[in-house]
Amino acid sequence: MKATIRIEVIATVLLAACTFSATTWADTVVLGTYGKLGADVNVAVSGASNGGATMTYATDTDGRYDSGIFSYTDSAKGGVTFANVGDKLTYNFTYTGIVASGNLTTPQFRTGFDFGSTAFLYHTTSVGTQSRLEFKSNTTGNPFTGGSQTGATIMDWSDFAHKAIRFDDGNVIDGTVSLSLNADHGNGTYDYLYEVSYVNGATSNSASRVFSGVTGNNVVNLAHLSNVSTMSVAGDTWTVTGASAEFTAIPEPATLGLVAAFGGGVLFLRRLMM
């Protein structure tokens, strides 16, 4: 009788352990210290840490407008790799101290996920008092290169109660962007769901698009940037603070199969002991 009870207890514990190993959980992504991105020499980066940095623009004399900041994702591990459909990378940050002299309808400020030489997936927002949102991608390996439009443009964020989250003077913007693997085509191309949500006060604002046929499944950088003269006005500045990221991994199909098989074996063993 004791042996029977002992076997059942052991089987139950093993099943619980195996099931736990197959569950999903959010793992903290190690962000590197933020650094300068782009060729514009008239930009100063200060206060750099693994939680953000401050960008300050000087008078532009060299005609270069490529400027921004970036952080490596799990740099010691070679980036974040999407292995299974459902894997999700979530990035949280806050914009503060915004001084933006420009006033453009066309989006000029980018935030996104850099796959290195294969792709940069990003969304762009307007600078100044006007409002607009676009989702874009490029395959050049250069995040400053103009990308192909993905989906319809949200022409006026005010229709979505988005006025408070424009990249404009004095705004404090809490942002969350996430990238989820939607499909693995088995030929080195993937589909991703890109979601963006900004919070300002009590107002929550969200939008999303699917990027199809992306080459690459390894995100190496998270970036904030612009490449136009209206974002290089002397005295303009912005700060990213409170940056953090997490990666939610979906178990391998083989692991799920093992759990199912083991669970069936435990149930069979229990019936034999009844």
How far is the C-alpha of 58 from the C-alpha of 237, rounded, in Å?
Answer: 10
Which of 56, 96, 85 shows the shortest CA–CA distance to 234? 56
User: What single-letter DSSP state applies at residue 110?
Assistant: E
Q: Model pTM?
A: 0.83
Sign of CA dihedral 124, 247, 176, 170: negative
Q: Give me the residue label for tokens 């435990």.
A: 266
Burial of residue 115 (CB within 10 Å: 0-12, 13-18, 19+) is: buried
Residue 128: the pLDDT is 78
* Domain coordinates in residue numbering, the chain: 24-250
Query: Do β-strands 173-184 and 88-99 pair in parallel, antiparallel, or remain unpaired?
Result: antiparallel
How far is the C-alpha of 114 from the C-alpha of 232, rounded, in Å?
Answer: 23
* C-alpha angle 51-56-60 in degrees, rounded to nearest 5: 145
* Dihedrals phi, psi of 130, to nearest 5 degrees: -90, 170
CATH of region 24-250, choose from 3.30.70, 2.60.120, 1.10.3720, 1.10.287? 2.60.120
Q: CB 253: neighbour CB atoms within 10 A?
A: 10
How far is the C-alpha of 106 from the C-alpha of 84, rounded, in Å?
Answer: 36
Task: Give 74-104 pLDDT, tens digit per residue.
Answer: 877 789 999 999 999 999 999 999 998 888 7
Token duo for residue 100 = 């933006």
Side-chain-facing half-sphere of 52: CA atoms under 13 Å? 16
Beta-carbon contacts of residue 118 (< 8 Å; ≥ 6 apart): 139, 141, 214, 215, 216
Residue 203: the pLDDT is 62
Token duo for residue 34 = 């933020």
Which of 215, 219, 225 shows the shortest CA–CA distance to 88? 219
Residue 181: the pLDDT is 98
Helix, coil or strand: residue 217 = coil
Task: Give 20-39 pLDDT, tens digit per residue.
Answer: 444 456 699 999 999 999 98
- Residues (pLDDT < 50) of the chain are 2-7, 9-23, 160, 255-269, 272
> Contact, 229 vs 60, CB < 8 A?
yes
How far is the C-alpha of 20 from the C-alpha of 18, rounded, in Å?
Answer: 5
Q: What is the dihedral of CA 79, 83, 85, 86, to 10 degrees?
A: -50
